[in-house]
Structure 1
Amino acid sequence: MTTPSGRRPKHLASSPFKPAVEPVVEVFEVGDRVTHDIYGLGQVTHVDSHAVTADFGSKNVRIAHPYPKLHHL
């Protein structure tokens, strides 16, 4: 649940539920070696604020934030 501004409400200490875990978003730089669950091994060729482009040998793939299935080596 989020508020209209996009933020989650404050977690109350008396709540019986655990606070939601914030996802860790990886930061990529040009030249980083990466692996993707579908495309395999590759290298980052371009980074912008919303996506990463990686060369996987047979094709260049643009992967949008939060970079699903893309991991550093």
Structure 2
Amino acid sequence: MESSRGTTRRHLSTSPFKQRVPSTPKTFEVGDRVSHDKEGVGRITAVEGAEAVVVEFGDGRLLRVPAPFQKLHVL
């Protein structure tokens, strides 16, 4: 469960729980095939740095997906 505070809690060495490993940010390239949890399968048509990507789906729809790309997965 994520902390609602703006800071992260520090891991105590005596804790019986494993330390949470920070995830690496997802990176996408133009032409990558992706799956969107709600919209389905598509292809990356534009990358706007680390802020967003534009995905084209099979019926020609374009969708701009902002970071952190929680609903977007590379196929």
TM bin, normalised by shorter chain, reads: 0.7 to 0.9
1:66 match: 68
1:52 match: 53
**Normalised by the size of structure 1, how large is the TM-score?**
0.73
**Normalised by the size of structure 2, how large is the TM-score?**
0.71
Deviation per CA, 1:3-51: give whole Å up to 9, x if none. Answer: 4xxxx35433234444333234321011111111211111001111201
2:12 match: 12
Separation in structure 2 between the aligned mates of residue 57 and residue 17 of structure 1, nearest angstrom: 44
Task: Give the SS at the match of 1:23.
Answer: coil
Output the aligned Cα RMSD. Answer: 1.9
Task: Detail structure 1 runs of 4+ shifted over 6 Å in the superposition.
Answer: none
Q: Which runs of 5+ in 1 are unaligned?
A: none
Separation in structure 1 between the aligned mates of residue 15 and residue 35 of structure 2, nearest angstrom: 39
